[in-house]
Structure formats: C-alpha cells, structure tokens
Structure 1
Amino acid sequence: MPSLGTTAEAVVDTLIDHGVDTVFAIPGAQTYELVNALAARQDRIRIIGGRHEQAVAYMAFGYAQATGELGVVSVVPGPGLLNAGAALLTAYGESQPVLCIVGDVAAGARGRGLGHVHEMPDQLATLRTLTKWASNIEHVSEASGVVAEAIARATSGRPRPVAVSIPRDTLAQRGPYRVTGPRPLPTPPVDKERIAAAADILATARNPMIMVGGGAREARAEVAALAEYLQAATVAFRGGRGVVSDDSPLSFTSASGFERWADTDVLIGIGSRLELTWARWPDRAPGLKVVNIDIDPEQAVRLTPDVALVGDAAETTKALAEAVAARRGPAPDRSAEFLAVKEGKAKEIEDLGPTIEFVRAIRAALPEDGFLVEEVSQVGFVSSFGFGVTAPRQFITCGHQSTLGFGFPTALGVQAAHPDRAVVSVSGDGGFMFGVQELATAVQYDLPVVAVVFNNQAYGNVKLDLEGRYGADRAVGVDLHNPDFVALAESFGADAYRIDEGDGLQVAAAKLTRTTAQAVAKRRPAVIEVRCALGAGESPWKYLEPASRKGA
C-alpha cells in the first residue's frame, strides 16, 4: 500500500529505508518541510545542525569517509549550496559518498530571475559541476525513486557525491508515494584474460611495488595476501593509509616508499590515482611495467598502464593473487630488508624537528583505534607519512583538493559516526579559524573531538613558500592576528589547554602526549593550542616531493 504524505516525508522515509541515521543540516525557509519530516521521525533519524553550510557539508564528508557509508547534508539553495561547495568538491576528489539535499525556490519561479530569496540562475547545472549525478524532484510521486537513484549512484562504482534539488512548494506537496528501497549494487565481472596478462607480468617480477589508495579500503585482506605472496613493498599516500597496517614490514609510507621506487620493476595500483608515481616521484625505472586495478573504467586507463583491470578491488585483487600463485611460488621473505629501510627513513625524518615530534606525540596519546583528521598545515603534511596507522579509515584526509579549513568540521562528522572512539584533528591557526564556530556544535551535540591547533601566527606553508621564492618583503597577506585560543574555546564551553614550544621541544612534545591523552579520556570537546615557531626543522616537502637521485 502506498503511503499518503508530503514529498519531504517521502524523502525522509527513503533515507531511513536505506539505513541513514544522521542528517547534517542548516535549516532555512526552502527546507522547512524537510526539517518538519525529520523532526517527526527523530526516533529513527537525527539531525545535527551547525553554524555554517560548509561545516555541515564537511561533517557529512567526515561521516562518509570514517564509515564507508552515505553521508547526508541538507542546505538552502543559492548561498547555502555555494557555501557547501568546497566540501562537495572535496568529497568528489576523495571519492566519498555524500548526498546533498538542496532546497530551491518555488517550481514556477526557477529560471525566471524574479529575485526570490536564495535564487540561482540554474542551480541544477551548478550541482552537476560538483557531483557525480544530480537531479530535481518535481512531484511527490517521484521523490522516493529519485532519492533512491541518487543513493545508488553515490555508493556504486566509484563513490562520489550526488545531489537532489527540491523546490520549496514541491517539498510541501501531498499525495500517495511508495518508498523505493535499496537495490543491489553491481560490480564489473572479473576479466580472466586481463587477469592472466597481469599475472604473466608478475610471474617474473623481482621488485614489485603495490600502491594502494582509498579505493582499496575494503580490500584489506586481499591486498595483504598479494603483498605477502610477492613480498611487495606496499605504499599508501593518504587515502590508502592502514590498508596494510604500519606494523607490517611490507607497509611503506610515501616517504619510505620512495626508497624502493628506483628498483621497482612492476607497479600494481589498487584503488589509487598513482599520484606519487606520476606527479611526485622522479627516477622511474626504465621498462617499468604497470598493472592498475580500479572500479572506475576511466581511472583504470588514465595513465596508460600495461594492463588495466576494471573491477572491485577485493574481488580483482583476489583473482590476481590466485593467478599469480598458479605461475610462481611465494617470494622469499624480505622483512629484515624492508624493516631496515623503514627504520632508516624513520631516523632520517627526524630532521623535520618539531613537526615530526608533535606528530609522534599525538600518536603516542591516541588509542590504536582512534582517528586522526589531518589538515592543510605543516603538521598535517608530516602526518601523511609520520603518523602510524594500523587500519583503513583511521587517517582522515581531504585528498588532492588540499582544502584549507576542512579538518575540524570533518572531525565532528567522524565523531558523530563513531561516538565511542577517539577523534583528534590537527590544524594550523589559519585553517582552524575557518570552522572555529563549530566548537558550539561540538558542545551542543556532545561531540568530544580534541582539536590540536598549531599556532605560528601565519598561513605558515604559504609564507615560507613566498619568502623562499620572492623574498621576505613579498610575503604579504599571510601573517595572522589570532585570538586567545584557550579563552575562545572556553567561551564555547569546551575544555582548553596551552602548550608552548618555547619551553623546549622535548618538554612540549611530552606535554602534548599527556594533554592529548587527558583530553581524549575526559570525552569532552577540547582545544589544545600549541604555540610554535614557523620554519623550525626541515621542510616536509623534501619528503613529499623528493628530488631525483640520479647522478647523486
């Protein structure tokens, strides 16, 4: 039997039927009906409000990345949508399933330029530049089907954000509707001929390397089995951290992995854009063979590999491992060799000084199953290779968008998804101020994120770059006048602490470990301000974009 109700009720019932338990939102005039429908179903779905549309969209992004499930955000049209745009773009780049439900002006007013509140000339066209798929909902009878289609698009193939735009009068429209439930998500069949071709290449590989990205997060066991059999150095840059635990001798970061790159004769990409190998690492070995596994047919062939395998990472990697085993025996154990490389790199990166010491201090305080949310900052950059990760989705990243200010609001979404686990965000003073108002959200909704803010009173990375390229007198617009972060945090009702690097690096690092552990244990929102100098220690970019060693 169909239900009788509003378009908004059909939308919410469909979300619930698909297992959605949280909507991050800032209500407004064009979404009142949606809020009303959510409020009527608070026993099955909750709404978490925020103080800025960009922030609530990042919360949905964080929820999605930490769970692998759909994150949902609702905003008003026009300025609300554009405010959320940075987070949608980040979700697109990082391949995260986010559904954005956007209100709109009345159906008959769209495109007429009448000057309605929050009107855009063509909202749907704008949405389509930011998402994998977007559609209007025009009638109550189609609402559930459109939402179900959006969810299927977001979560199938390469996950990415999607959007539905709903006029305010359509949201209020009443009529019969049937809820469209979840549908099976097909995956491409394993291509046995291409598997055989890839296995033939690997049959004679002496120094294979596996590079894992975010697309390998659900293929942990399969990747580990292939890596073990081949004794392949397995490298993760950002999204793939933890697919192979850093406790394994086979797990390499972007910094330590470069030590193996020049000798690599076969590269196996699994759910990765292979950014390190085409954009950051020089010294590609002549004759290198590339096998690339990706669910996205375009991504699989983008870098013209020798063999492209389009398919689910787990299924395809398993099939490849079986085909390799039919052609060769297991490779001799290289644990001692690999551990020596990793230990050498761990010692080398100590030249980073305060940044690596602070990253290690936070790692020492955070429970093994805790989450670290990086940020566009010196400490954030170093965390991509200096922070130990033992499982997928524990290192939360903005990926190649490098979105300044994403960290703290994203961490709130991670915490909403995992209320019983520790979440720490690391930000610079500049990036933290993009979302500082969300301390109110953290306190209001009891989201006990610990925000570590490194205060060097500058957009530090940009300042160093400008000074290095053009001279100190050209580094303008980068120095920051900051508030008292402790007093500011306390004014929101959060706990607050201060650490000063001026007391001595080892003293400050030890205090950061103790303070982070204390804040995590209290299970309250907290800010830890770390006052630090800019430019102490070597630049992380020597490890993120290493120089060629040919002829060295």
Structure 2
Amino acid sequence: MAQMTGGEALAAALVAHEVAVVFGLPGVQLDWAFDALYAVQDRIRVIHTRHEQATSYMADGYARTTGRPGVCLVVPGPGLLNAASGLATAYACSSPVLCLAGQIASDLIDRGRGVLHEVPRQLELAGSFTKWAARALAPGEVPGLVATAFEQLASGRPRPVLIEVPPDILQAVGDVGPIERGAAPARPSGDPDLLEAAAKALGEAKQPVIFVGGGILRAEAWEELRELAEMLQAPVVMSANGKGAISARHYLAQNMVAGRELLPQADVVFVAGTRFVQPATSTWGPRPDQTVIQMDIDPEEIGRNTPVAVGIAADLKAGLAELVNRVPRHNRKRPSREEELTALKERIDDLLFELQPQASYAQVIREELPDDGILVNESTQVGYWSNLGFPVYEPNTFLTSGYQGTLGYGFATSLGAQVGNPGKRVVSINGDGGFMYNVQELSTAVRHGINLVTIVFNDNAYGNVRRIQKENFGGRTIASDLLNPDFVKLAESFGVEGRRAEGPEGLRAALRDALASDHPTLIEVPVGEMPSIWPIVFAGRRD
C-alpha cells in the first residue's frame, strides 16, 4: 500500500496504462487532478482547450486514427454536458474514448442542494453516451476503476467509458494498492459451427458480395478482409466509416452507389462490422431468396436491421481469420472479376464526378494529400460528396461523424488526429457554419503547435438547410443565412497562417503550400450554392 491523493492515484493509473496525452480543461473540482498531472508531465502531455466540447472531439480523433484510447478530462455539470456531443459522436463511431469527469463533493451528490456545477443523476446521464460508467468514492478505488475502464475499451464493441471522481476524493489521502494494467481481453473468433456454415455458404456462392463498416478498422482486420475478398472474388462495399478497409486502388473496393447494383445480383451477402442500415432500408436491400451472413463483435447488432441466415458474434480479426482458413475447403474455382469490377468503379466514379464543383474540390485534396494523410470530413457539401466519392488508400485515414451527423465536430476532431499522428498530414474540411462551432480552437492549435491544415468552404449560409428550404418550401428561407468574419484575418489574429483560394486550382496551390509548411494553416474557399448529392445518396430508400 502507498499513501496517495485520489488525484495522484488517477495520474499514476494513467501512466501505468501508457496514456500519452490528456485533452482537458481545468476547473475547481479538478484542481487536485491537474496538480497530479503536473507531476507527470514528462510522461503525459496535457493539451488544454478553449471549450470542453473540443476535449472529447480531440480524444475521439486521436483514438480513431491511432487505435489507442483517447482521454479527456472535464469538470462536472456544464463541462460534461459540453463534452457530451463529442462523446455521442465517439459512441456512434465505436471509438475508444475515456472521459474523466469531475463531480460535486461526494456527500452532496444527488441531494439537490444547488452547489456549483451540480447536475442531478450525472452518472445516469452519462449512460446515454457511454458503454460503462462508474464513480470512485475513495482514492484506493481509482486505479481499479481505471483498469476496468481500459478493459471495457479493449473488449467487445469499443465505445466511450466514463469515470467520475468527486473533488474531495481527488484531494483525500488514502491507501492505494499496487497499480496494475487491466487484463488483455480475449478475442473470440465465433461459434465453430456457425463459422463452418458461413464458410460453406460463401465458398459455394456464385456471386458473393461483402458489406463492411468501421468495425473492420476498429478490429484492425483489413488484411484478413482483403484475403477473404480475393479468395471469393467478392466486391467489398464500404460504408463511409469503413472507407480504407480495402484500398480504393483495389478493384474489389466499391462504394455504396456501386452496392446498389452489386447487392441485387448477389446470392450470398456477407455483412461485417457495419449496421447495414442503408441497404437494409432501401428497395435494393436483401431479398428473402438471398443468404445473409452477419459477423459483428456486438451480438445486439446481429439481425438488428435485416434478418440473417447465419449470425456470428466474433472479434472481426479473429473471425475473418477463421473464415480465411475454412472457406478454401468449400470454395469453387473463381475467375478474376477485375475487368468487370474495374469497369463498374469507373462508371460510378464518372457519375459522381458530374456533381460539381464538389467533385473537383475533393479531387484536388486527394491528389495533394499523401496516401497516408488523414482527411477529417464534415457536414458540408464537399464532405457529403466525399462520403461516397473520396478515394481512401489506407485504414483510419478518413473520419466521419457517423450516424450522429454532428455539425461542427470536424475541426476539433482533426486537431486530435494531428496530435496522435505527428508524422502524417491531417486536413480538416469544413463549411463556414460548422467551423464556427469550434473556431476558438485555433488558439489551441497555435498554443500546442498542432500543425493542422484547415479548409473552410464559405457560402455564408447553412447551405444544406438553405437549399432544402428553397427546394421544398417554396423558396421561403429562414435562419439559414450567416454573417461571417473574414476567415483569413480571423486565422491570422490567432497566429494561424491564413490563405484565400479561388476555385479548385486555387485550392490546389494553397493546399500544396500548406502541406509543405510547419505551422497551422487555414484556407478559406469562397463558394456559391452547390447541387444536391442527396438524390444519389438516398436513391431507392424506403421512407
């Protein structure tokens, strides 16, 4: 046993779990936690933000691009509520984020006395956007809860977890036992009988097709997926969150637009690490005569959106490795489908390229960004196009906000991605509306030397809302126009290099210079109204 404050126990447990960065914002209930972090600055970098929202977004961007848990630290009540949007986004995207939240004094919790930052039932509230949440009520409890938190992050479906520690516990001195790391979780490969049934169905299939999502990336199962797909000559349709599971240069790599043509022709459909919502809710979704096989680490996901013939609860890396071993015993002789599927890719690419200027802006970004460069998407017109058409060559290099569709998440998330990947270039694309949600974090970029390239497409509106109002409501626009600052001057006032670029080729020149620089850069791109991509996105959807 050692005598430690709760804050010291927390810092020691984070060190034991090899946490390298904490994204946080201090406040009175966290004084003893930050003082403990001061003592371990040689092992844990503390990046403080200008808003709690950015702490959770940065932790998410760090986690999804490195594969290591991202950690954020916020005060209770309004601090946690501010961070909730980032935690909800991480929850939607199955991202391993540990939120460390303050509390009010332990003897006042849920008593309704109205003390500073009190929110009734905070732990219960956190259950809406975490997979596990707990409270420490003694310094000696802190290391064990941290170990459990990391076990939760590494087992099953990775989603945010939360530990709250009241300020009196952070300050109190108590006996703390040996601080140890949590046990490494098992990686279940799935029921052998179900795996054999799946292998037989896939091996005997005439035209199998594979649908995958972000679960492949969380499980680091891309090599197993590629091997299985090549064995079956099965096209791999990737959701936006699954982009990069197979390089876009591979002829088997397809997007959801191609999926509309591929799925109706398939006799066996293999669904792995995806909710499968878009196909399942479309007129071109699975038919009763098609065999659907689903594999997911989350048993509750299997069969949620479409009936399945074979459902396998498994870690995708282990489960796909099992299929790679089992399928050859059943696999028919298969000619290469390269010519056919390459032609399909080219036809879909040509279709998407007709949507201008979004396609040209995205093409410029792809051509200038290195293969291992990271693009963090946003709820903006170029972003919507990129969900379908942006080529991704390596895993974990394309981020979205998942089903949350969290406007304004992208810039702060990009900062976390850049912190986690100092040797790679990260580009953040934004609309003017969403960018202003976290514009204050330009200060964080400069203060902490985060060399991010930020692009702001400026149409002086919530452009998507404005177009919908014009098209669907007789041109009656309301609350969709925006009064913006001069983004170049704004960036420069924070110490960020500001550039203004006209058109795709102007963006190319500005982006090339920014990627070669060693300091954060903002590029403003003035744009007009852009054509809607939604008819392509939602074609065949059942309302």
TM-score by length of 2: 0.97
Partner of residue 87, structure 2: 88
CA contact (8 A) 2:148 2:182 kept: no
Counterpart-to-counterpart distance in 1, 2:283 and 2:508 = 33
* Number of residue pairs matched by the alignment: 538
Counterpart-to-counterpart distance in 1, 2:445 and 2:211 = 36
Verify: 1:530 aligned to 2:530, yes or no: no
Partner of residue 126, structure 2: 127
Partner of residue 450, structure 1: 453
Q: What is the CA-CA distance between 1:69 and the residue it aligns to? A: 1.2
Superposed, 1:228-307 pairs within 5 Å as 228-280=230-282, 282=284, 284-285=286-287, 287-302=289-304, 303-307=306-310
Verify: 1:431 aligned to 2:434, yes or no: yes
Matched position secondary structure for 1:190 = coil
Give the letter aligned to residue 77 of structure 2: G
Counterpart-to-counterpart distance in 1, 2:271 and 2:92 = 18
Q: Render the CA deviation track for 1:441-482: whole Å, top value 9, x for unaligned.
A: 001111111111110111111111222221211x21011111
Counterpart-to-counterpart distance in 2, 1:110 and 1:441 = 33
Superposed, 1:450-529 pairs within 5 Å as 450-473=453-476, 475-500=477-502, 508-529=503-524
Q: What is the CA-CA distance between 1:286 and the residue it aligns to? A: 5.1
Matched position secondary structure for 2:73 = strand
Q: What is the CA-CA distance between 1:266 and the residue it aligns to? A: 1.3
Q: What is the CA-CA distance between 1:330 and the residue it aligns to? A: 4.3
Please, which of 389, 395, 403 is the counterpart of residue 406 of structure 2?
403
Partner of residue 342, structure 2: 339
Q: Render the CA deviation track for 1:500-533: whole Å, top value 9, x for unaligned.
A: 3xxxxxxx21221221121011021111111001
Give the letter aligned to residue 273 of structure 1: R
Counterpart-to-counterpart distance in 2, 1:515 and 1:255 = 31
Partner of residue 191, structure 1: 191
Please, which of 366, 380, 383 is the counterpart of residue 383 of structure 2?
380
Q: What is the CA-CA distance between 1:4 and the residue it aligns to? A: 2.0
CA contact (8 A) 1:231 1:331 kept: yes
Counterpart-to-counterpart distance in 2, 1:548 and 1:45 = 48
Counterpart-to-counterpart distance in 2, 1:158 and 1:281 = 29
Partner of residue 209, structure 2: 209
Counterpart-to-counterpart distance in 1, 2:285 and 2:195 = 28
CA contact (8 A) 1:460 1:478 kept: yes
Give the letter aligned to residue 414 of structure 2: A
Partner of residue 504, structure 1: none
CA contact (8 A) 1:93 1:400 kept: yes
Verify: 1:417 aligned to 2:420, yes or no: yes
Partner of residue 503, structure 1: none
Counterpart-to-counterpart distance in 2, 1:349 and 1:188 = 40
CA contact (8 A) 2:57 2:416 kept: yes
Partner of residue 354, structure 1: 357
Partner of residue 546, structure 1: 539
Matched position secondary structure for 2:227 = helix
CA contact (8 A) 1:280 1:544 kept: no
Q: What is the CA-CA distance between 1:290 and the residue it aligns to? A: 0.7
CA contact (8 A) 1:258 1:281 kept: no
Matched position secondary structure for 1:130 = coil
Deviates more, 1:135-144 or 1:325-334: 325-334
Partner of residue 225, structure 2: 223
Matched position secondary structure for 2:156 = coil
Q: What is the CA-CA distance between 1:186 and the residue it aligns to? A: 1.5
Deviates more, 1:421-430 or 1:236-245: 236-245
CA contact (8 A) 1:135 1:146 kept: yes
Partner of residue 105, structure 2: 106
User: Which stretches in structure 2 are left out of the alignment for 5+ residues?
Assistant: none
State percent identity of aligned pairs: 41
Q: What is the CA-CA distance between 1:155 and the residue it aligns to? A: 2.1
Q: Render the CA deviation track for 1:387-424: whole Å, top value 9, x for unaligned.
A: 11111100011111100000000000000101121000
Q: What is the CA-CA distance between 1:275 and the residue it aligns to? A: 2.1
CA contact (8 A) 1:429 1:454 kept: yes
Partner of residue 78, structure 2: 79
Give the letter aligned to residue 352 of structure 2: I
Counterpart-to-counterpart distance in 2, 1:200 and 1:256 = 26
Q: What is the CA-CA distance between 1:259 and the residue it aligns to? A: 2.8
Q: What is the CA-CA distance between 1:175 and the residue it aligns to? A: 1.7
CA contact (8 A) 1:362 1:513 kept: yes
CA contact (8 A) 2:463 2:480 kept: yes
CA contact (8 A) 1:215 1:272 kept: yes
User: Which stretches in structure 1 are left out of the alignment for 5+ residues?
Assistant: 501-507
Relative distance call for 1:232 and 1:166 in structure 2 (3 A) is: same
Relative distance call for 1:251 and 1:129 in structure 2 (3 A) is: same
Q: What is the CA-CA distance between 1:176 and the residue it aligns to? A: 2.1
Counterpart-to-counterpart distance in 2, 1:120 and 1:145 = 25
Matched position secondary structure for 1:146 = helix
Counterpart-to-counterpart distance in 2, 1:519 and 1:450 = 7
CA contact (8 A) 2:215 2:274 kept: yes
Counterpart-to-counterpart distance in 1, 2:146 and 2:288 = 49
Counterpart-to-counterpart distance in 2, 1:280 and 1:425 = 31
Matched position secondary structure for 1:72 = strand
Partner of residue 118, structure 1: 117
CA contact (8 A) 1:450 1:526 kept: yes
CA contact (8 A) 1:283 1:548 kept: no
Counterpart-to-counterpart distance in 2, 1:247 and 1:226 = 17
Q: What is the CA-CA distance between 1:279 and the residue it aligns to? A: 3.1
Deviates more, 1:126-135 or 1:186-195: 186-195
Q: What is the CA-CA distance between 1:189 and the residue it aligns to? A: 4.4
Matched position secondary structure for 2:128 = helix
Superposed, 1:126-205 pairs within 5 Å as 126-178=125-177, 179-205=179-205
Counterpart-to-counterpart distance in 1, 2:372 and 2:216 = 19
Deviates more, 1:437-446 or 1:315-324: 315-324
Counterpart-to-counterpart distance in 2, 1:80 and 1:373 = 25
Counterpart-to-counterpart distance in 2, 1:373 and 1:259 = 28
Q: What is the CA-CA distance between 1:380 and the residue it aligns to? A: 0.7
Q: What is the CA-CA distance between 1:321 and the residue it aligns to? A: 2.4
